[in-house]
Amino acid sequence: MNTINIAGVDWDSYYKNGISSLKKRLEEESGMWDNWTRSDKRYMLICHLIIVANDIDNNPSGRVTSHLDFCVNSDDIESLRLLWNSKFIQERYDTTMQHFIADMQEKKVIEFCSVGM
Residues 32-62: tens digit of each pLDDT: 999 888 899 999 999 999 998 888 888 777 8
Q: Kindly state whether residue 34 falls inside one of the protein's structural domains.
A: yes
Please choose, from the candidates 86, 83, 74, 116, the residue with its C-alpha nearest in 3D space to the C-alpha of residue 99.
116
Same domain, 58 and 90: yes
Name the β-bridge partners of 49. 68, 93
Instruction: Give the number of domains in the chain.
Output: 2
Mark out the alpha helices in 29-108 (DSSP H runs): 30-37, 77-84, 87-90
Tell me the percentage of the chain whose pLDDT exceeds 70. 95
Q: Kindly state whether residue 5 falls inside one of the protein's structural domains.
A: no
Same domain, 95 and 78: yes
Please say whether the beta carbons of 49 and 94 come within 8 A.
Answer: yes
For 20, the domain range is 10-39
Q: Kindly state whether residue 80 falls inside one of the protein's structural domains.
A: yes
Between CA 111 and CA 48, with CA 98 as vertex, the angle to 5 degrees is: 115
Choice among 52-56, 75-79, 102-106 with the minimum mean pLDDT: 52-56
Same domain, 34 and 49: no
